[in-house]
Amino acid sequence: MGVVIAPDKFKGSLTAADVARHLAAGLRLTAAHVPVVMAPVSDGGDGFLDAMVAAGYRRVPVAAQGPTGQPVRASYAELDGVAVVELAETAGLTRLPHGRPAALTASSYGTGQVMREALEAGCRTLVVGIGGSACTDGGAGMLQALGAHLAVRDGTPLRRGGAALCDLQSVDLSGLHPGLARTEVVVAADVNNPLTGPQGAAAVYGPQKGASPREVAELDRALAHWAGLVSTSTGVDAAEAPGSGAAGGVGFAMMAILGASLRPGIELVLELTGFVQKLREARMVITGEGTLDGQTLNGKAPAGVAAAARKASVPVIAVAGHSTLNQRDLHSLGMIAAYALTDIEPDQQRCISHAGPLLERLGARLATEWLSP
C-alpha cells in the first residue's frame, strides 16, 4: 500500500510537479519502504498543462502570440486524440511583458491559435483550462484565431482587446475551423460569474487585470455590445449563463459559439489523469497548495483531491506554505491533518525561496508521524 502525492502548485515558488518531487524525497528519508505515486494536479489555471504532461500526456510545441501580440512559446498536451490547452500559457497574466497590465487591449488570440493547431493535428476533444487570464475580450480574439471574421463598420477586421468590442459591427462565423463541428469542447472553469453586470467579468476581475473604475465600465459596455451581436448572429443568449464571465468572457464565447460545456477544473484533471484508479492501492493521499485558506474550502484543487479520496476511504493529509484552516475546516474537507512550511520556518520569504528543502523536511516529519511500520 503506497502514498499518492497529489498537490497543486505553490504559486510563485514551485510547480505542482516540483512540490510532489520534494515531498517524495522527504518521505523516502524516513519511509523508504513505502511506494510513492506522484500525481500533481491543477484547477485549470497555471500548471494545468504541466499536470497533464506529468500524467503521461505528450507535450506538443506551438508558436503563438501572447496577450499583447508578442511571440510566445506555447504548447498543448495530447493523448488519444484529446488535446489539453491552458489559456494562461498564451493569454495569462504571467505572459504580460514586464508584468505591465493591458486591461483594455489584452487578447485571447493566442489561445485560439493553440486550439487551431490541435484541430489541425486531428484532435477531436479539446479540454481548455481558462484560469489566470490577462484579457477581458469576451473570447473574441480566440474566435478570430479560429477563423471568425469580426469587423467594424467599413469591414475592417476588429482590432484586439476588450475595449475594441465597442466598435464591432458584424460577426461572421462561417470561416470557423471546420474541425470544430466534429469536436467536443470542454472548459475547465471554477467561477460562476455572468458575462456582464456587477458580478460580471469586468466588474469582478477587471481590477485584478489593472482596469481602473472607468475602464471597468468601458469593458462592461463592450462585453454587453459583443453579447448582443453574438445573440443576433447565433440565436444563443449565454451572457447570463453561470461561468460566461470566466477568463474575461472567454467562457461566454466557448459556450455561445463553440457549444462548450463547463466543468470544475480539478474534477476534469482527476478524471483525465485516472486519479481514482491510483487510489486503489493507496494507504494515504498527500495534497496541498501554496496557501490553505477560505478559498480552499470553496472547491480549489486540494478540496477536489480530498473529496475523491474520501469516496475511496483513503485518508488525506495536506501540506502548504501557509495555512489558516482549523481542524474543523480540515475535517469538512475530509482531511485529517495539515502541515505548513511556516510551522518550521517563520520567515515567509524564506518559505518561498527555500520551499523545496523545507518540503523535504515536512515530508520526512509526516512520514515519521504517519507512515512508520
262 and 186 both lie in a single domain: yes
Residue 12 has what pLDDT? Answer: 87
Segment 335-352 mean pLDDT: 95
The Cα–Cα gap between 108 and 134 comes to 8
Whether residue 150 has pLDDT greater than 90: yes
Question: Across the chain, what does the average pLDDT equal?
Answer: 96
Residue 162 near residue 135, CB atoms below 8 Å: yes
pLDDT tens for 241-254 read 999 999 999 999 99
Of 234, 266, 298, the domain-final residue: 266
235 and 285 both lie in a single domain: no
Segment 334-344 mean pLDDT: 96
Residue 172 has what pLDDT? Answer: 97
Q: Is the dihedral of CA 9, 14, 20, 23 positive or negative?
A: negative
Whether residue 337 has pLDDT greater than 90: yes
Left if phi > 0, otherwise alpha if psi is -120 to 50, otherwise beta: which for 99? left
229 burial via Cβ count (<10 Å: 0-12, 13-18, 19+): middle
Whether residue 125 has pLDDT greater than 90: yes
Helix 16-30 and helix 355-370: axis angle, to 10°? 50
pLDDT tens for 168-177 read 999 999 999 9
**What CA–CA distances, in Å, run from 225 to 175, 203, 309?**
22, 16, 45
Segment 13-37 mean pLDDT: 95
Strand partners, 5: 38, 286
Whether residue 299 has pLDDT greater than 90: no
180 and 218 both lie in a single domain: yes
Poorest-pLDDT segment among 45-49, 257-261, 304-308: 45-49
Quote the cell numbers at residue 86. 491552458
Q: What is the CATH number of the domain that holds 336?
A: 3.40.50.10350
204 and 278 both lie in a single domain: no
Q: Report the candidate in 105, 80, 106, 79 with the shortest Cα–Cα distance to residue 95.
A: 106
Q: Which residue range forms the structural domain that includes residue 318?
A: 2-41+274-370
37 and 59 both lie in a single domain: no
138 and 227 both lie in a single domain: yes
134 and 173 both lie in a single domain: yes
Residue 372 has what pLDDT? Answer: 78
**At 51, which amino acid appears?**
A
Quote the cell numbers at residue 274. 485516472
CA 322 to chain centre: 21
Residue 276 has what pLDDT? Answer: 94
Whether residue 373 has pLDDT greater than 80: no
Segment 104-127 mean pLDDT: 98
Q: What is the CATH number of the domain that holds 164?
A: 3.90.1510.10
pLDDT category at 124 given cuts 50, 70, 90 is very high
111 and 96 both lie in a single domain: yes
Whether residue 149 has pLDDT greater than 80: yes
pLDDT tens for 213-233 read 999 999 999 999 999 999 999
Residue 367 near residue 30, CB atoms below 8 Å: yes
Of 245, 266, 287, the domain-final residue: 266
The three-class DSSP label of residue 369 is helix
225 and 344 both lie in a single domain: no
75 and 194 both lie in a single domain: yes
The Cα–Cα gap between 104 and 204 comes to 15
Residue 190 has what pLDDT? Answer: 85
String of b and e for 108-132 (b: at least 16 CB within 10 Å)?
Answer: bbbbbbbbbbbbeeebebbbbbbbb
Residue 1 has what pLDDT? Answer: 79
Q: Report the candidate in 268, 265, 234, 270 with the shortest Cα–Cα distance to residue 252.
A: 234
Residue 234 has what pLDDT? Answer: 94
Residue 24 has what pLDDT? Answer: 97
Of 211, 239, 266, the domain-final residue: 266
Residue 298 has what pLDDT? Answer: 83
211 and 287 both lie in a single domain: no
156 burial via Cβ count (<10 Å: 0-12, 13-18, 19+): exposed
54 and 36 both lie in a single domain: no
Return the number of other C-beta atoms located less than 10 Å from residue 182's C-beta: 8
**What CA–CA distances, in Å, run from 113 to 80, 123, 188?**
21, 14, 18
Segment 100-121 mean pLDDT: 98
Number of domains into which the chain is organized: 2
